[in-house]
Amino acid sequence: MNFLALVLLFAAPFWEAKAPADWSEEELAQMFTDSPWAQALVAPASAPAVPAYFATAAPMAKAELERDRRHRAKRPDAPPDLLAEEYRAWFEENRATQIVLAIPTGNARAFDDSQSTREMEEQSVMRIGRRKIKMSGHFPPSPGDPYLRIAFPREVKENDKTVTFDLYIPGVAIPFRTVEFRVKDMIVNGKLEM
C-alpha cells in the first residue's frame, strides 16, 4: 500500500477536518443521508426509503445551521417561520435531556389529521436493548422547515450497541418505518453525539 493510500485511509472525515462553511454541496448533502447520524427509514414493503438523522448531534446541528445559512443566502426575502423558530428555542432549552430524529416528509397537511398524529404518538418508540421508550413530543413540518422532528428522552449510553426507532410517520407511503443506528459510530472524540 502506498503512502497516499495510507493517508487517505486514516484521514479524519470531512465533518471533523473542515468547518461546515468549507463543505461542498455534496458533503453537506452527505451529512443528511450518509453519515453516522443519518440512516434510511425502511418500510416493510417496496416503499421508497426515507432519510432520518439526529438533529441533536453536534455535527448535525452544525450541518443544519450551514444548510439554513445557504438557504437564507439564496432567499433573503423569505418570511420568518414561527414554527421553526419555536422548535429552535425548544431545541436550545432541551438539548441536554432530549434527542431529536428529523425526517423529511414534505407533507405538512398530513398532520392536520388528528388520527394520524395520535397514531404517531402511540406507535413511535425508541428501542435500546429490550427497553422501549415512547416519544416525548414532536414538531410537524412547516414551510421553512420541511422536517418532522420527533423527540425522545436522552437515554442512550456509550456502552449500548444499537438504538432502533420504530416509527409511524404521517404523510409517507407505508407510514410504519424502522431505522437502526450503531452507537459506537456516533462517538466523536470520546463523546457520544446524538
pLDDT in tens, 78-97: 888 888 899 999 999 999 99
List, for residues 135-173, the tens digit of each pLDDT value: 999 999 988 888 999 999 999 999 999 999 999 999 888
Mean pLDDT, the chain, rounded, equals 89
What pLDDT score does 6 carry? 44
Question: Using CA atoms, how far apart are residues 34 and 86, in angstroms rounded to an integer?
Answer: 28
pLDDT tens column, 27-39: 999 999 989 999 9
pLDDT of residue 110: 84
Residue 5's pLDDT band, with cuts at 50, 70 and 90, is: very low
Give bridge partners of residue 176 from the DSSP assignment.
Answer: 168
164 - beta bridge partners? Answer: 127, 180
Amino acid identity at 104: P
Angle between helices 25-33 and 58-74 (to 10 degrees): 130
Residue given cell 445551521 in the structure block? 65
Mapped to the 3 state alphabet, what secondary structure does 95-144 carry?
CCCEEEEEEECCCHHHHHCHHHHHHHHHHCEEEECCEEEECCEEECCECC
114-125 confidence digits (pLDDT tens): 898 999 999 999
What pLDDT does 80 receive? 84
The predicted pLDDT at position 25 comes to 94
The answer to whether residue 1 scores a pLDDT higher than 70 is no
pLDDT at 2: 59
Question: Which of 155, 170, 163 is CA-nearest to residue 186?
Answer: 163
**Is pLDDT at 3 greater than 70 in this prediction?**
no
Q: Are the beta carbons of 138 and 102 closer than 8 angstroms?
A: no
Q: Check whether 76 has a pLDDT greater than 90.
A: no
Band of the pLDDT at 10, cuts 50, 70, 90? low
Exposed, middle or buried by CB within 10 Å (0-12, 13-18, 19+), for 187? Answer: middle
Of the pLDDT bands very low, low, confident and very high (cuts 50, 70, 90), residue 7 is very low
